[in-house]
Amino acid sequence: MKKTIFSTILIAIFFGLAACGGGEETAETADTTEAEVVDDGVRTIEIIGTDDMKYVVAEAADGLVTGGQAGQNMLLQSIEAAPGEEIRIQLTTVSNLPATAMSHNFALVAMGTDLDAFTRAALTARDNDYISPDFEDQVIAATAMAGNGETVTITFTVPETPGEYDFVCTFPGHFAGGMVGKLIVQ
Ligand SMILES: [Cu+2]
């Protein structure tokens, strides 16, 4: 704790000197930036889960295939990735409902997985973040569940085999509601 305060003071002094008078403001800005940016070079895809049971993104980006407008955001249809690429999914739920009524996850499954069966089995797996143990060997990567205001993250290696892999939210009813998309490996 003491060390942190000391470092902060040092940073403040440093930026104070660098900015020649506009010191305090600059130091605050620098501190905030330092806390928020975790740039480890891994491609990070920020997704929002909505009360409409959709995956949406705030802005278009290379490698993201989007559909129509969803409020201020765009529907996310597919993610394009290279074989063996490391990517990070960062899913944030924005909701007016309690977590027990509206939560989302991101579960990427092996090619050929029966999504109907997978999400049906999830219904009785609430204690396991709605991932049925019967299907765990078909799950390539899955986040925990996120309720309103929560962000869950998963970093994984994209499969080496080119093709289309489904990702889906396993919260009850959300697959039927359209909370599903594809990871296109090419
Ligand atoms: Cu969901």
Determine the distance separating the centroid of ligand 1 and the alpha carbon of 59, expressed in angstroms: 20
Determine which helix (DSSP H) or strand (DSSP E) holds 16, and give its type and residue range. Answer: helix 2-19
Determine the distance separating the centroid of ligand 1 and the alpha carbon of 160, expressed in angstroms: 27
- Alpha-carbon distance of 146 to 78, in angstroms, equals 21
Determine the distance separating the centroid of ligand 1 and the alpha carbon of 9, expressed in angstroms: 44
- Is 108 in contact with 56 (CB distance < 8 Å)? no
Determine the distance separating the centroid of ligand 1 and the alpha carbon of 162, expressed in angstroms: 26
Determine the distance separating the centroid of ligand 1 and the alpha carbon of 73, expressed in angstroms: 16
Determine the distance separating the centroid of ligand 1 and the alpha carbon of 104, expressed in angstroms: 4
pLDDT (0 to 100) of residue 40: 87
SS3 36: helix
Determine the distance separating the centroid of ligand 1 and the alpha carbon of 150, expressed in angstroms: 13
Cβ-based neighbours of 179, under 8 Å, separated by 6 or more:
49, 53, 54, 55, 104, 168, 169, 171
Determine the distance separating the centroid of ligand 1 and the alpha carbon of 58, expressed in angstroms: 17
Determine the distance separating the centroid of ligand 1 and the alpha carbon of 17, expressed in angstroms: 49
CATH class of 43-185: mainly beta
SS3 130: coil
The pTM of the full predicted model, rounded to 2 decimals, is 0.79
Determine the distance separating the centroid of ligand 1 and the alpha carbon of 52, expressed in angstroms: 9
pLDDT (0 to 100) of residue 38: 62
Sequence spans of domains, the chain = 2-36, 43-185
Determine the distance separating the centroid of ligand 1 and the alpha carbon of 179, expressed in angstroms: 6
Determine the distance separating the centroid of ligand 1 and the alpha carbon of 168, expressed in angstroms: 8
User: The tokens of 16 are what?
Assistant: 């104070």
Cβ-based neighbours of 138, under 8 Å, separated by 6 or more:
109, 110, 113, 118
Residue pointed to by tokens 């039927």 = 176
Tell me the pLDDT of the chain (186 aa) as tens digits: 344 444 443 334 334 333 333 333 333 333 333 334 567 889 999 999 999 999 999 998 999 999 999 889 999 999 999 999 999 999 999 999 999 999 999 999 999 999 999 999 999 999 999 999 999 999 999 999 999 999 999 999 999 999 999 999 999 999 999 999 999 999
Look at the chain and count its residues.
186
Residue pointed to by tokens 């994209």 = 158
Among 14, 41, 47, residue whose Cα is nearest residue 30: 14
Determine the distance separating the centroid of ligand 1 and the alpha carbon of 53, expressed in angstroms: 5
